[in-house]
Structure 1
Amino acid sequence: MSILYPRLLPGEAERLFASFHGRKAEELARFAAIASDRAVYAASGGTRASRDQLRLLVTDLEKVASVCGFPEPPGTAAKNEFDRTVARQLHERSGMLPGEASQRQVWAFFGLVLVPHICAWRFPMKNGAYNRDRFKGTDLTRHTLARLWTRAYVLHDPTLPDPYQLLSGLGEADLDQVMSRRVAVAATPALVRAVVRAHVEDGDTGDGIPARAVHRDSLRRLLRLTAFLDLDWLSEQAILELVREQRRESRRFIAAIGVNAADLEDPTD
Protein backbone atom coordinates (compact mmCIF):
# COMPACT_ATOMS: atom_id res chain seq x y z
CA MET A 1 0.00 0.00 0.00
CA SER A 2 1.28 3.45 -0.91
CA ILE A 3 2.34 6.08 1.59
CA LEU A 4 0.24 9.20 1.05
CA TYR A 5 1.96 12.56 1.29
CA PRO A 6 0.50 16.02 1.91
CA ARG A 7 -0.70 17.89 -1.18
CA LEU A 8 -0.28 21.64 -1.25
CA LEU A 9 -3.29 23.56 -2.49
CA PRO A 10 -2.59 25.64 -5.62
CA GLY A 11 -3.21 29.06 -4.08
CA GLU A 12 -0.78 28.38 -1.25
CA ALA A 13 1.77 26.98 -3.67
CA GLU A 14 1.70 30.18 -5.68
CA ARG A 15 1.93 32.36 -2.55
CA LEU A 16 4.91 30.47 -1.16
CA PHE A 17 6.75 30.38 -4.45
CA ALA A 18 6.35 34.13 -4.90
CA SER A 19 7.79 34.70 -1.41
CA PHE A 20 10.98 32.80 -2.27
CA HIS A 21 12.28 35.18 -4.92
CA GLY A 22 15.49 36.88 -3.88
CA ARG A 23 16.11 34.53 -0.94
CA LYS A 24 19.15 32.27 -0.96
CA ALA A 25 19.05 28.56 -0.16
CA GLU A 26 20.30 28.91 3.41
CA GLU A 27 17.65 31.55 4.08
CA LEU A 28 14.90 29.30 2.74
CA ALA A 29 15.91 26.66 5.31
CA ARG A 30 13.98 28.79 7.84
CA PHE A 31 10.83 28.33 5.74
CA ALA A 32 11.08 24.54 5.74
CA ALA A 33 8.39 22.67 7.70
CA ILE A 34 6.87 19.21 7.91
CA ALA A 35 3.28 20.45 7.88
CA SER A 36 1.10 23.13 6.32
CA ASP A 37 -2.42 24.24 7.19
CA ARG A 38 -3.06 24.55 3.47
CA ALA A 39 -2.16 20.95 2.66
CA VAL A 40 -4.56 18.04 2.21
CA TYR A 41 -4.29 14.27 1.69
CA ALA A 42 -5.88 11.91 -0.80
CA ALA A 43 -9.09 10.55 0.70
CA SER A 44 -8.04 6.92 0.22
CA GLY A 45 -5.51 4.64 -1.41
CA GLY A 46 -2.83 4.34 1.25
CA THR A 47 -1.52 5.30 4.68
CA ARG A 48 -0.77 8.92 5.49
CA ALA A 49 2.88 9.74 6.09
CA SER A 50 3.48 10.46 9.77
CA ARG A 51 5.39 13.46 11.06
CA ASP A 52 8.25 11.16 12.03
CA GLN A 53 8.39 9.76 8.50
CA LEU A 54 8.49 13.26 7.06
CA ARG A 55 11.23 14.34 9.49
CA LEU A 56 13.31 11.31 8.58
CA LEU A 57 12.89 12.01 4.88
CA VAL A 58 14.02 15.62 5.39
CA THR A 59 17.02 14.48 7.43
CA ASP A 60 18.05 12.04 4.70
CA LEU A 61 17.79 14.69 1.99
CA GLU A 62 19.68 17.24 4.04
CA LYS A 63 22.48 14.76 4.72
CA VAL A 64 22.97 14.12 1.02
CA ALA A 65 22.92 17.83 0.22
CA SER A 66 25.43 18.50 3.00
CA VAL A 67 27.81 15.83 1.70
CA CYS A 68 27.50 17.42 -1.75
CA GLY A 69 28.44 20.85 -0.43
CA PHE A 70 25.24 22.59 0.69
CA PRO A 71 24.95 25.58 0.98
CA GLU A 72 27.89 26.28 -1.35
CA PRO A 73 26.91 26.24 -5.04
CA PRO A 74 27.22 22.67 -6.35
CA GLY A 75 29.56 21.78 -9.19
CA THR A 76 28.73 19.24 -11.87
CA ALA A 77 30.09 16.28 -9.91
CA ALA A 78 28.16 17.31 -6.79
CA LYS A 79 24.93 17.70 -8.76
CA ASN A 80 25.32 14.26 -10.30
CA GLU A 81 26.09 12.67 -6.94
CA PHE A 82 23.11 14.38 -5.32
CA ASP A 83 20.75 13.34 -8.11
CA ARG A 84 21.80 9.69 -8.11
CA THR A 85 21.78 9.32 -4.34
CA VAL A 86 18.47 11.10 -3.82
CA ALA A 87 16.80 9.22 -6.68
CA ARG A 88 17.66 5.97 -4.96
CA GLN A 89 16.63 7.20 -1.51
CA LEU A 90 13.27 8.53 -2.65
CA HIS A 91 12.39 5.34 -4.46
CA GLU A 92 13.63 3.02 -1.72
CA ARG A 93 12.37 4.87 1.34
CA SER A 94 9.43 7.11 0.47
CA GLY A 95 6.95 4.25 0.00
CA MET A 96 5.34 6.06 -2.94
CA LEU A 97 3.59 4.20 -5.69
CA PRO A 98 3.29 5.71 -9.20
CA GLY A 99 -0.24 7.00 -8.59
CA GLU A 100 0.89 9.13 -5.66
CA ALA A 101 4.13 10.16 -7.37
CA SER A 102 2.16 11.43 -10.37
CA GLN A 103 0.40 14.11 -8.29
CA ARG A 104 1.82 17.59 -8.87
CA GLN A 105 0.49 18.88 -5.55
CA VAL A 106 2.50 16.23 -3.68
CA TRP A 107 5.72 17.50 -5.18
CA ALA A 108 4.65 21.10 -4.61
CA PHE A 109 4.53 20.24 -0.90
CA PHE A 110 8.02 18.74 -1.11
CA GLY A 111 9.47 21.70 -2.98
CA LEU A 112 7.72 24.56 -1.21
CA VAL A 113 7.19 23.28 2.34
CA LEU A 114 9.35 20.26 3.13
CA VAL A 115 12.73 21.10 1.56
CA PRO A 116 12.60 24.43 -0.33
CA HIS A 117 16.20 25.13 0.67
CA ILE A 118 17.43 21.98 -1.02
CA CYS A 119 15.52 22.77 -4.22
CA ALA A 120 16.97 26.29 -4.17
CA TRP A 121 20.48 24.94 -3.67
CA ARG A 122 20.20 22.38 -6.48
CA PHE A 123 18.67 24.90 -8.90
CA PRO A 124 19.80 28.39 -7.84
CA MET A 125 18.17 31.67 -8.78
CA LYS A 126 18.75 33.28 -12.13
CA ASN A 127 18.35 37.06 -12.25
CA GLY A 128 16.92 37.03 -8.74
CA ALA A 129 14.17 34.49 -9.47
CA TYR A 130 13.72 30.74 -9.23
CA ASN A 131 12.31 28.47 -11.90
CA ARG A 132 8.79 27.53 -10.82
CA ASP A 133 9.00 24.04 -12.34
CA ARG A 134 11.78 23.12 -9.90
CA PHE A 135 9.54 23.85 -6.90
CA LYS A 136 5.87 23.62 -7.86
CA GLY A 137 5.78 20.47 -9.94
CA THR A 138 4.01 22.09 -12.87
CA ASP A 139 6.20 19.84 -15.03
CA LEU A 140 7.22 16.72 -13.10
CA THR A 141 10.10 15.99 -15.46
CA ARG A 142 11.68 19.22 -14.23
CA HIS A 143 10.75 19.25 -10.54
CA THR A 144 13.88 18.95 -8.37
CA LEU A 145 12.73 15.74 -6.66
CA ALA A 146 9.89 14.34 -8.77
CA ARG A 147 12.21 13.81 -11.74
CA LEU A 148 14.57 11.82 -9.49
CA TRP A 149 11.86 9.50 -8.13
CA THR A 150 10.74 8.86 -11.70
CA ARG A 151 14.26 8.06 -12.87
CA ALA A 152 14.75 5.56 -10.07
CA TYR A 153 11.33 3.99 -10.71
CA VAL A 154 11.96 3.61 -14.44
CA LEU A 155 15.60 2.49 -14.21
CA HIS A 156 15.18 0.16 -11.25
CA ASP A 157 16.15 -3.32 -12.42
CA PRO A 158 15.93 -6.12 -9.80
CA THR A 159 17.82 -8.50 -12.11
CA LEU A 160 21.06 -6.55 -11.63
CA PRO A 161 23.45 -7.02 -8.67
CA ASP A 162 22.65 -3.42 -7.74
CA PRO A 163 19.07 -2.71 -8.85
CA TYR A 164 19.88 1.01 -9.14
CA GLN A 165 23.15 0.80 -11.05
CA LEU A 166 21.59 2.12 -14.28
CA LEU A 167 21.12 5.49 -12.57
CA SER A 168 24.79 6.18 -13.20
CA GLY A 169 24.77 4.90 -16.78
CA LEU A 170 24.17 8.29 -18.43
CA GLY A 171 25.19 11.82 -17.54
CA GLU A 172 22.59 14.35 -16.40
CA ALA A 173 22.07 16.08 -19.75
CA ASP A 174 21.78 12.87 -21.76
CA LEU A 175 19.49 11.14 -19.26
CA ASP A 176 17.30 14.23 -19.09
CA GLN A 177 16.86 14.10 -22.87
CA VAL A 178 15.61 10.54 -22.55
CA MET A 179 13.26 11.16 -19.62
CA SER A 180 11.80 14.37 -21.03
CA ARG A 181 10.46 12.43 -24.04
CA ARG A 182 7.51 11.33 -21.94
CA VAL A 183 5.40 9.80 -24.69
CA ALA A 184 7.93 8.57 -27.23
CA VAL A 185 10.50 7.10 -24.82
CA ALA A 186 9.93 7.52 -21.08
CA ALA A 187 6.40 6.07 -21.26
CA THR A 188 8.04 2.68 -21.89
CA PRO A 189 10.34 1.91 -18.94
CA ALA A 190 11.87 -1.06 -20.74
CA LEU A 191 12.97 1.26 -23.55
CA VAL A 192 14.60 3.68 -21.11
CA ARG A 193 16.45 0.83 -19.42
CA ALA A 194 17.55 -0.50 -22.80
CA VAL A 195 18.88 2.91 -23.90
CA VAL A 196 20.95 3.23 -20.74
CA ARG A 197 22.09 -0.40 -20.70
CA ALA A 198 23.20 -0.27 -24.36
CA HIS A 199 25.11 2.96 -23.73
CA VAL A 200 26.94 1.35 -20.79
CA GLU A 201 27.68 -1.78 -22.84
CA ASP A 202 29.39 0.20 -25.59
CA GLY A 203 31.90 1.82 -23.25
CA ASP A 204 35.02 3.06 -25.00
CA THR A 205 35.19 1.23 -28.33
CA GLY A 206 38.45 2.86 -29.32
CA ASP A 207 37.08 3.98 -32.70
CA GLY A 208 37.32 7.66 -31.86
CA ILE A 209 33.57 8.24 -32.11
CA PRO A 210 32.26 10.13 -29.04
CA ALA A 211 29.80 8.10 -26.98
CA ARG A 212 27.55 11.14 -26.74
CA ALA A 213 27.32 11.43 -30.52
CA VAL A 214 26.27 7.77 -30.79
CA HIS A 215 23.74 8.16 -27.98
CA ARG A 216 22.12 11.25 -29.46
CA ASP A 217 22.00 10.02 -33.03
CA SER A 218 20.55 6.68 -31.94
CA LEU A 219 17.96 8.51 -29.85
CA ARG A 220 16.88 10.39 -32.97
CA ARG A 221 16.43 7.07 -34.73
CA LEU A 222 14.44 5.61 -31.83
CA LEU A 223 12.18 8.67 -31.73
CA ARG A 224 11.34 8.09 -35.40
CA LEU A 225 10.71 4.38 -34.85
CA THR A 226 8.43 4.83 -31.84
CA ALA A 227 6.12 6.92 -34.02
CA PHE A 228 4.85 3.70 -35.63
CA LEU A 229 6.12 0.82 -33.43
CA ASP A 230 4.11 -0.47 -30.46
CA LEU A 231 6.88 -1.47 -28.07
CA ASP A 232 4.42 -2.79 -25.49
CA TRP A 233 4.19 -5.98 -27.56
CA LEU A 234 7.95 -6.57 -27.47
CA SER A 235 9.88 -8.35 -24.75
CA GLU A 236 12.51 -6.44 -22.81
CA GLN A 237 15.22 -8.41 -24.61
CA ALA A 238 13.72 -7.57 -28.02
CA ILE A 239 13.66 -3.87 -27.10
CA LEU A 240 17.29 -4.06 -26.02
CA GLU A 241 18.23 -5.64 -29.35
CA LEU A 242 16.34 -2.89 -31.18
CA VAL A 243 18.30 -0.23 -29.30
CA ARG A 244 21.60 -2.01 -29.94
CA GLU A 245 20.83 -2.12 -33.66
CA GLN A 246 20.07 1.61 -33.75
CA ARG A 247 23.37 2.30 -31.99
CA ARG A 248 25.23 0.19 -34.57
CA GLU A 249 23.52 2.14 -37.36
CA SER A 250 24.47 5.40 -35.67
CA ARG A 251 28.08 4.35 -35.28
CA ARG A 252 28.31 3.42 -38.97
CA PHE A 253 26.66 6.67 -39.99
CA ILE A 254 28.91 8.84 -37.85
CA ALA A 255 32.03 6.97 -39.01
CA ALA A 256 31.04 7.73 -42.60
CA ILE A 257 30.28 11.44 -42.23
CA GLY A 258 32.43 12.41 -39.25
CA VAL A 259 31.40 14.25 -36.09
CA ASN A 260 30.64 17.94 -35.74
CA ALA A 261 28.82 20.11 -33.22
CA ALA A 262 25.44 19.25 -34.75
CA ASP A 263 25.88 15.62 -33.78
CA LEU A 264 25.92 16.61 -30.11
CA GLU A 265 22.76 18.74 -30.17
CA ASP A 266 19.37 17.90 -28.74
CA PRO A 267 17.97 14.93 -30.74
CA THR A 268 14.65 16.69 -31.32
CA ASP A 269 16.26 19.75 -32.93
Structure 2
Amino acid sequence: MTDNALLWPRMDRSMAEKRLESLGENSGPEVELTTDYFSFSGVGRRASGKEIEALRNRIVEIAGKYGFNVRHGYDQEGDPGDEARSRFDVEVFAALPELMQMNWSEAGSRDLWSWCAVALLPDVTHWRWKQRRQSGRWNPERFIGSDLTRHTWARQWWRAVQLEAAPELAELIKETEFNQITERADTIGANPLLVTTFAKRFLAYTVNGGVSRRGLLRDASQRLLREMYFIDDSLLSEADLIAWSDRVLKASVSVLSRDALR
Protein backbone atom coordinates (compact mmCIF):
# COMPACT_ATOMS: atom_id res chain seq x y z
CA MET A 1 0.00 0.00 0.00
CA THR A 2 2.91 2.35 0.66
CA ASP A 3 5.29 1.38 -2.17
CA ASN A 4 3.84 4.12 -4.38
CA ALA A 5 2.82 6.46 -1.58
CA LEU A 6 1.53 9.86 -2.63
CA LEU A 7 0.78 13.16 -0.94
CA TRP A 8 -2.82 14.32 -1.29
CA PRO A 9 -4.39 17.79 -1.01
CA ARG A 10 -5.47 19.11 2.39
CA MET A 11 -8.29 21.44 3.33
CA ASP A 12 -8.11 23.09 6.74
CA ARG A 13 -11.13 22.81 8.99
CA SER A 14 -12.17 26.47 8.74
CA MET A 15 -12.35 26.22 4.94
CA ALA A 16 -14.22 22.93 5.11
CA GLU A 17 -16.78 24.33 7.54
CA LYS A 18 -17.22 27.42 5.34
CA ARG A 19 -17.89 25.29 2.26
CA LEU A 20 -20.34 23.11 4.16
CA GLU A 21 -22.54 26.11 4.85
CA SER A 22 -24.15 25.39 1.46
CA LEU A 23 -25.07 21.84 2.53
CA GLY A 24 -28.81 21.29 2.24
CA GLU A 25 -31.41 18.79 1.12
CA ASN A 26 -30.48 19.22 -2.56
CA SER A 27 -27.40 21.41 -2.38
CA GLY A 28 -23.78 21.37 -1.29
CA PRO A 29 -20.22 22.49 -2.08
CA GLU A 30 -19.03 22.55 -5.67
CA VAL A 31 -16.78 19.72 -6.81
CA GLU A 32 -13.20 21.01 -6.93
CA LEU A 33 -10.66 18.95 -8.87
CA THR A 34 -7.85 21.51 -9.02
CA THR A 35 -5.36 21.80 -6.18
CA ASP A 36 -4.86 25.56 -6.48
CA TYR A 37 -6.64 26.32 -3.21
CA PHE A 38 -5.28 23.48 -1.11
CA SER A 39 -2.02 22.69 0.63
CA PHE A 40 0.16 19.60 0.69
CA SER A 41 2.33 18.43 3.53
CA GLY A 42 5.58 16.55 3.81
CA VAL A 43 8.23 15.59 1.32
CA GLY A 44 7.27 13.26 -1.49
CA ARG A 45 5.41 13.11 -4.77
CA ARG A 46 2.14 14.93 -4.88
CA ALA A 47 -0.88 13.29 -6.46
CA SER A 48 -1.26 14.59 -9.99
CA GLY A 49 -4.41 16.02 -11.51
CA LYS A 50 -4.76 12.78 -13.47
CA GLU A 51 -4.57 10.68 -10.30
CA ILE A 52 -7.04 12.92 -8.48
CA GLU A 53 -9.48 12.73 -11.38
CA ALA A 54 -9.07 8.95 -11.56
CA LEU A 55 -9.91 8.68 -7.87
CA ARG A 56 -13.11 10.67 -8.28
CA ASN A 57 -14.14 8.89 -11.47
CA ARG A 58 -13.77 5.44 -9.92
CA ILE A 59 -15.76 6.31 -6.80
CA VAL A 60 -18.48 7.89 -8.94
CA GLU A 61 -18.51 4.77 -11.11
CA ILE A 62 -19.02 2.56 -8.05
CA ALA A 63 -21.75 4.84 -6.68
CA GLY A 64 -23.46 4.76 -10.08
CA LYS A 65 -23.99 1.02 -9.71
CA TYR A 66 -26.14 1.70 -6.63
CA GLY A 67 -28.26 4.60 -7.80
CA PHE A 68 -26.04 7.69 -7.85
CA ASN A 69 -26.46 9.75 -11.03
CA VAL A 70 -23.67 12.26 -11.51
CA ARG A 71 -25.85 14.39 -13.79
CA HIS A 72 -28.28 15.02 -10.95
CA GLY A 73 -25.60 16.31 -8.60
CA TYR A 74 -27.16 16.81 -5.18
CA ASP A 75 -30.69 16.26 -6.43
CA GLN A 76 -30.60 12.45 -6.42
CA GLU A 77 -33.82 10.54 -6.96
CA GLY A 78 -35.03 7.87 -4.56
CA ASP A 79 -33.42 5.95 -1.72
CA PRO A 80 -30.91 3.26 -2.77
CA GLY A 81 -31.66 1.37 0.45
CA ASP A 82 -29.45 -0.02 3.19
CA GLU A 83 -28.38 -3.07 1.21
CA ALA A 84 -27.15 -0.95 -1.71
CA ARG A 85 -25.32 1.41 0.61
CA SER A 86 -23.66 -1.55 2.30
CA ARG A 87 -22.56 -2.99 -1.05
CA PHE A 88 -21.26 0.42 -2.07
CA ASP A 89 -19.18 0.62 1.11
CA VAL A 90 -17.69 -2.83 0.48
CA GLU A 91 -16.64 -1.87 -3.06
CA VAL A 92 -15.13 1.39 -1.84
CA PHE A 93 -13.29 -0.54 0.87
CA ALA A 94 -11.75 -2.77 -1.82
CA ALA A 95 -10.87 0.01 -4.25
CA LEU A 96 -9.81 2.99 -2.13
CA PRO A 97 -6.35 1.86 -0.90
CA GLU A 98 -5.16 1.25 -4.46
CA LEU A 99 -6.71 4.45 -5.78
CA MET A 100 -5.46 6.55 -2.88
CA GLN A 101 -2.02 5.20 -2.10
CA MET A 102 -0.28 6.80 0.87
CA ASN A 103 1.52 5.96 4.08
CA TRP A 104 -0.16 5.80 7.47
CA SER A 105 1.12 9.22 8.49
CA GLU A 106 -0.49 10.85 5.46
CA ALA A 107 -3.72 8.89 5.98
CA GLY A 108 -3.88 10.18 9.55
CA SER A 109 -4.33 13.76 8.35
CA ARG A 110 -7.79 15.08 9.19
CA ASP A 111 -7.41 17.88 6.64
CA LEU A 112 -6.73 15.39 3.85
CA TRP A 113 -10.03 13.62 4.48
CA SER A 114 -11.89 16.92 4.69
CA TRP A 115 -10.60 17.68 1.20
CA CYS A 116 -11.71 14.26 -0.02
CA ALA A 117 -15.30 14.67 1.21
CA VAL A 118 -15.83 18.41 0.79
CA ALA A 119 -13.90 19.15 -2.42
CA LEU A 120 -13.38 15.92 -4.36
CA LEU A 121 -16.52 13.93 -3.54
CA PRO A 122 -19.05 16.25 -1.87
CA ASP A 123 -21.95 15.08 -4.06
CA VAL A 124 -21.26 11.38 -3.48
CA THR A 125 -20.79 11.96 0.26
CA HIS A 126 -24.12 13.81 0.30
CA TRP A 127 -25.82 10.93 -1.57
CA ARG A 128 -24.33 8.29 0.73
CA TRP A 129 -25.84 9.85 3.86
CA LYS A 130 -28.89 11.78 2.65
CA GLN A 131 -31.36 9.01 3.51
CA ARG A 132 -29.55 7.94 6.67
CA ARG A 133 -29.64 11.21 8.59
CA GLN A 134 -31.12 11.29 12.06
CA SER A 135 -34.09 13.71 12.15
CA GLY A 136 -32.95 15.10 8.80
CA ARG A 137 -29.74 16.49 10.29
CA TRP A 138 -26.35 16.18 8.67
CA ASN A 139 -23.51 14.73 10.74
CA PRO A 140 -20.50 16.97 9.96
CA GLU A 141 -18.12 14.14 10.90
CA ARG A 142 -19.11 12.42 7.65
CA PHE A 143 -17.56 15.34 5.77
CA ILE A 144 -14.97 16.93 8.08
CA GLY A 145 -12.13 14.72 9.27
CA SER A 146 -12.64 15.31 12.99
CA ASP A 147 -13.18 11.60 13.71
CA LEU A 148 -11.66 9.28 11.13
CA THR A 149 -13.71 6.29 12.34
CA ARG A 150 -16.88 8.13 11.30
CA HIS A 151 -15.66 9.94 8.19
CA THR A 152 -17.20 8.62 4.96
CA TRP A 153 -13.91 7.88 3.20
CA ALA A 154 -11.29 7.70 5.98
CA ARG A 155 -13.15 4.88 7.71
CA GLN A 156 -12.98 2.77 4.54
CA TRP A 157 -9.27 3.40 3.93
CA TRP A 158 -8.39 2.53 7.51
CA ARG A 159 -10.75 -0.43 7.51
CA ALA A 160 -8.69 -1.84 4.62
CA VAL A 161 -5.59 -1.51 6.82
CA GLN A 162 -7.29 -3.21 9.76
CA LEU A 163 -8.67 -6.04 7.63
CA GLU A 164 -5.69 -6.43 5.30
CA ALA A 165 -5.05 -9.98 6.54
CA ALA A 166 -8.70 -10.98 6.00
CA PRO A 167 -10.47 -8.62 3.57
CA GLU A 168 -13.39 -11.05 3.24
CA LEU A 169 -14.53 -9.92 6.69
CA ALA A 170 -15.76 -6.67 5.14
CA GLU A 171 -18.72 -8.61 3.76
CA LEU A 172 -19.26 -10.77 6.83
CA ILE A 173 -19.06 -8.17 9.60
CA LYS A 174 -21.89 -5.66 9.72
CA GLU A 175 -21.13 -1.94 9.76
CA THR A 176 -22.34 -1.52 13.33
CA GLU A 177 -20.34 -4.57 14.41
CA PHE A 178 -17.12 -3.30 12.89
CA ASN A 179 -17.69 0.03 14.61
CA GLN A 180 -18.17 -1.77 17.93
CA ILE A 181 -14.82 -3.53 17.50
CA THR A 182 -12.83 -0.53 16.30
CA GLU A 183 -14.53 2.48 17.89
CA ARG A 184 -11.67 2.74 20.36
CA ALA A 185 -9.00 3.43 17.74
CA ASP A 186 -6.22 3.58 20.33
CA THR A 187 -6.93 0.05 21.59
CA ILE A 188 -8.51 -2.80 19.64
CA GLY A 189 -8.48 -0.89 16.36
CA ALA A 190 -4.77 -0.11 16.69
CA ASN A 191 -3.78 -3.74 16.10
CA PRO A 192 -4.95 -5.11 12.71
CA LEU A 193 -4.12 -8.70 13.70
CA LEU A 194 -6.23 -8.40 16.85
CA VAL A 195 -9.12 -6.93 14.83
CA THR A 196 -9.14 -9.75 12.28
CA THR A 197 -8.57 -12.49 14.86
CA PHE A 198 -11.30 -11.30 17.20
CA ALA A 199 -13.72 -10.74 14.29
CA LYS A 200 -13.13 -14.25 12.93
CA ARG A 201 -13.64 -15.87 16.31
CA PHE A 202 -16.75 -13.76 16.94
CA LEU A 203 -18.27 -15.00 13.68
CA ALA A 204 -17.49 -18.57 14.66
CA TYR A 205 -19.39 -18.12 17.92
CA THR A 206 -22.45 -16.75 16.11
CA VAL A 207 -22.98 -19.93 14.05
CA ASN A 208 -25.07 -21.70 16.68
CA GLY A 209 -27.16 -18.61 17.39
CA GLY A 210 -27.50 -19.47 21.05
CA VAL A 211 -27.19 -15.86 22.15
CA SER A 212 -27.90 -12.48 20.61
CA ARG A 213 -25.23 -11.59 18.04
CA ARG A 214 -25.42 -7.94 19.06
CA GLY A 215 -25.29 -8.75 22.76
CA LEU A 216 -22.37 -11.12 22.32
CA LEU A 217 -20.26 -8.58 20.47
CA ARG A 218 -21.02 -5.82 22.94
CA ASP A 219 -20.21 -7.92 25.99
CA ALA A 220 -17.12 -9.60 24.51
CA SER A 221 -15.60 -6.40 23.12
CA GLN A 222 -16.06 -4.68 26.48
CA ARG A 223 -14.33 -7.61 28.22
CA LEU A 224 -11.50 -7.42 25.71
CA LEU A 225 -11.09 -3.68 26.26
CA ARG A 226 -10.94 -4.12 30.04
CA GLU A 227 -8.26 -6.78 29.78
CA MET A 228 -6.20 -4.66 27.39
CA TYR A 229 -5.35 -2.40 30.34
CA PHE A 230 -2.98 -5.10 31.60
CA ILE A 231 -2.27 -7.19 28.49
CA ASP A 232 0.14 -5.95 25.79
CA ASP A 233 -1.49 -7.40 22.67
CA SER A 234 1.42 -6.30 20.47
CA LEU A 235 3.56 -9.04 22.08
CA LEU A 236 1.07 -11.83 21.41
CA SER A 237 1.28 -14.32 18.55
CA GLU A 238 -1.71 -15.14 16.37
CA ALA A 239 -2.22 -18.33 18.38
CA ASP A 240 -2.21 -16.29 21.59
CA LEU A 241 -4.76 -13.86 20.14
CA ILE A 242 -7.02 -16.74 19.10
CA ALA A 243 -6.85 -18.25 22.59
CA TRP A 244 -7.52 -14.87 24.20
CA SER A 245 -10.47 -14.13 21.89
CA ASP A 246 -11.94 -17.58 22.53
CA ARG A 247 -11.65 -17.18 26.29
CA VAL A 248 -13.36 -13.79 26.22
CA LEU A 249 -16.13 -14.96 23.90
CA LYS A 250 -16.76 -18.12 25.92
CA ALA A 251 -17.12 -16.02 29.07
CA SER A 252 -19.61 -13.75 27.32
CA VAL A 253 -21.64 -16.67 25.97
CA SER A 254 -21.78 -18.20 29.44
CA VAL A 255 -23.01 -15.00 31.10
CA LEU A 256 -25.50 -14.14 28.36
CA SER A 257 -26.91 -17.69 28.30
CA ARG A 258 -27.33 -17.68 32.09
CA ASP A 259 -29.05 -14.29 31.99
CA ALA A 260 -31.44 -15.52 29.26
CA LEU A 261 -32.65 -18.31 31.55
CA ARG A 262 -33.56 -15.99 34.40
Query: Match for residue 175 of structure 1?
Result: 178
Q: Give aligned-pair identity as a percent.
A: 29
Of stretches 31-40 and 80-89 in structure 1, the one that deviates more from structure 2 is 31-40
Letter matched to residue 150 of structure 1: W
Whole-angstrom distance in 2 between the partners of 1:259 and 1:104? 47
Q: Which residue of the other structure, out of 136, 154, 163, is the alignment partner of 1:155?
A: 163
Whole-angstrom distance in 2 between the partners of 1:17 and 1:186? 29
Q: Which residue of the other structure, out of 63, 66, 69, is the alignment partner of 1:68?
A: 66
Q: Which residue of the other structure, out of 134, 149, 154, is the alignment partner of 1:146?
A: 154
Secondary structure of the 1:63 match is: helix
Matched, 1:228 2:230: yes
RMSD of aligned alpha carbons? 2.0
Q: CA deviation at 1:92?
A: 2.7
Letter matched to residue 56 of structure 1: A
Letter matched to residue 143 of structure 1: H
Letter matched to residue 99 of structure 1: S
Against the structure 1 CA distance between its residues 61 and 244, is the aligned structure 2 distance closer, same or farther, given a 3 Å change threshold? same
Whole-angstrom distance in 1 between the partners of 2:12 and 2:37? 6
Say if 2:10 and 2:39, in contact at 8 Å, map to a contact too.
yes
TM-score, reference length from structure 1? 0.85
TM-score, reference length from structure 2? 0.88
Say if 2:7 and 2:42, in contact at 8 Å, map to a contact too.
no
Query: Match for residue 31 of structure 2?
Result: 32
Letter matched to residue 256 of structure 1: R
Q: CA deviation at 1:33?
A: 2.1
Q: Which residue of the other structure, out of 80, 87, 100, is the alignment partner of 1:94?
A: 100
Whole-angstrom distance in 2 between the partners of 1:123 and 1:195? 29
Letter matched to residue 222 of structure 1: L
Whole-angstrom distance in 1 between the partners of 2:98 and 2:243? 29
Matched, 1:80 2:78: no
Query: Match for residue 199 of structure 2?
Result: 196
Letter matched to residue 223 of structure 2: R
1:43-64 CA deviation, whole Å, 9 max, x = no partner? 40x3211111111111111111
Whole-angstrom distance in 2 between the partners of 1:35 and 1:167? 33
Whole-angstrom distance in 2 between the partners of 1:246 and 1:68? 39
Secondary structure of the 2:45 match is: strand
Query: Match for residue 221 of structure 2?
Result: 219
Query: Match for residue 241 of structure 1?
Result: 243
Whole-angstrom distance in 1 between the partners of 2:13 and 2:254? 51
Say if 1:151 and 1:179, in contact at 8 Å, map to a contact too.
no
Query: Match for residue 113 of structure 1?
Result: 119
1:189-225 CA deviation, whole Å, 9 max, x = no partner? 221111211123234215x322222222111110111
Query: Match for residue 71 of structure 2?
Result: none
| Corresponding residue pairs, total | 249
Matched, 1:51 2:57: no
Letter matched to residue 155 of structure 1: L
Runs of 4+ in 1 over 6 A off after TM superposition: none
Matched, 1:186 2:189: yes
1:16-44 CA deviation, whole Å, 9 max, x = no partner? 11122x242xx44x811212432011140
Query: Match for residue 263 of structure 1?
Result: none
Q: CA deviation at 1:9?
A: 2.8
- The unaligned stretches of length 5 or more in structure 2 are 69-75
Whole-angstrom distance in 2 between the partners of 1:254 and 1:192? 22
